[in-house]
Amino acid sequence: MLDMSRNKLAVYAFAFGALLFAAGMTATPAAAQHDHGDHQTEQVSHDAHGADAHAEDAHGDAAHGDAAHAEGDHGEHSNMPHLPNALTFISLWVPENVAHILTEWTNPIYAFIVVILTSIFFINLSKDLNTRKPSRTQMAAELVLGGLYGLFQQIIGPTARRYTPFLGSLFLFILLNNLFGMVPLGHAATSAFNTTTLALGVITFMFVQGIALKENGIGGYLHHMAGSPKTGMDWGFSLLLFPLHLLGELIKPISLALRLFGNIFGEDTLVATMVLLGAGITYGLIGSDFVPGIPLQFPFYFLGLLSSTIQALVFTLLATVYIALWLPHGEEHGH
């Protein structure tokens, strides 16, 4: 009973701390950056006006170029809002070159953190496996992994066990990265296209193409790409179908990456916008930076939980379908 009370107290404390942090403290750096950007814009406008009024033509052109450059810099600073993470605050206490590295490598660092935590969890779980008296953690893991295997088996068929390690790892990696962005001081690495989601799409593409070549051979692979022609008319249409199938295969990793990136990036942006709005309302009413903002973002956390799970499942299911489409007809459950 005492342990249960401590667990409830810890959950309540975590929820309260997350609410205060997300509503108030995380809005301060973003708001300060926004105010700095507005001040910089006013200063640039004033300088550009003075240069046009008093300088010569050549000097005026140079001032115009500087103003355009300043506008470009302001455009970079006025990107879509995102909540600061742990590395954002660490960057304030380290040398400038280290802070730049942390900023550039934020997504790989957080993706690596997710991998390490997941590996530690499953390594510790594997040491305490008990078929007769499983623990709650073991039952939860078996429920998730067993459900995923059953889903893969319905799509691929009896050979689904071969591909379950990759597909299951893909689902867990995407899901945990999505959810990590909702944790205070966390960050969703899947909200970046060029460093995370594109890499996931390319890895899935290479895995599927490797299975296609292994299961069908080079001849069978090319025959499948041509639309599996049988008659003379089919072979005639294969001249049109082959480039279309090739283009479709090349588009698949990009579509997977863009779908995941767009949804998670939009989710993070929505939460950050609500945080800034709640902090702005509080600051306008009270005029103090130390008062937590109105938690307008709280309802969107439930939407984020649903969206994060759905996007991980969609990415994994599409990868499963791509594998099933390349398997020989005798091995898959249904083509």
The b/e string for 74-102 (b: 16+ C-beta within 10 A; e otherwise) is eeeeeeebbbbbbbbeebeeeeeeebeeb
Q: Is residue 289 part of a domain?
A: yes
Q: Assess whether 270 and 143 both reside in one domain.
A: yes
Q: Is residue 218 part of a domain?
A: yes
The pLDDT value recorded for residue 19 is 39
Which of 35, 67, 83 terminates a domain? The answer is 83
The pLDDT value recorded for residue 6 is 52
Say which amino acid occupies 76.
Answer: E
Distance between CA atoms of 10 and 213, rounded to whole angstroms?
52
- At 83-123, the pLDDT tens digits run 888 998 899 999 999 999 999 999 999 999 999 999 999 99
List the chain residues with pLDDT less than 70: 1-79, 287-291, 329-335
Q: Is residue 151 part of a domain?
A: yes
- Token pair recorded at residue 11: 């959950």
- At 274-283, the pLDDT tens digits run 888 887 887 7
The pLDDT value recorded for residue 278 is 83
Q: Is residue 153 part of a domain?
A: yes
Query: Looking only at Cα atoms, what is the longest distance across the chain?
Result: 88
Q: pTM of the full predicted structure?
A: 0.74
Domain membership of residue 300 as a residue range: 108-326
Is-contact 169 152, C-beta < 8 A? no
Is-contact 55 64, C-beta < 8 A? no
Q: Assess whether 74 and 8 both reside in one domain.
A: yes
Residues 6+ apart with CB under 8 A from 66: 47, 48
Q: Is residue 170 part of a domain?
A: yes
The pLDDT value recorded for residue 28 is 38
Integer angstrom CA distances of residue 257 from 79, 164, 187, 197, 295: 21, 21, 18, 5, 31
HEC-encoded secondary structure of 165-210:
HHHHHHHHHHHHHHHHCCCCCCCCHHHCHHHHHHHHHHHHHHHHHH
Say which amino acid occupies 83.
Answer: L
Q: Assess whether 163 and 39 both reside in one domain.
A: no
Distance between CA atoms of 238 and 220, rounded to whole angstroms?
14
Q: Assess whether 194 and 236 both reside in one domain.
A: yes
The pLDDT value recorded for residue 260 is 96
Number of compact structural domains in the chain: 2
Q: Assess whether 183 and 113 both reside in one domain.
A: yes
Distance between CA atoms of 202 and 256, rounded to whole angstroms?
9
- Of 192, 145, 191, 150, nearest to 172 by C-alpha is 145
Q: Assess whether 66 and 201 both reside in one domain.
A: no
Which of 83, 99, 134 terminates a domain? The answer is 83
Q: Assess whether 133 and 231 both reside in one domain.
A: yes
Q: SS3 for 230?
A: coil
The pLDDT value recorded for residue 299 is 87
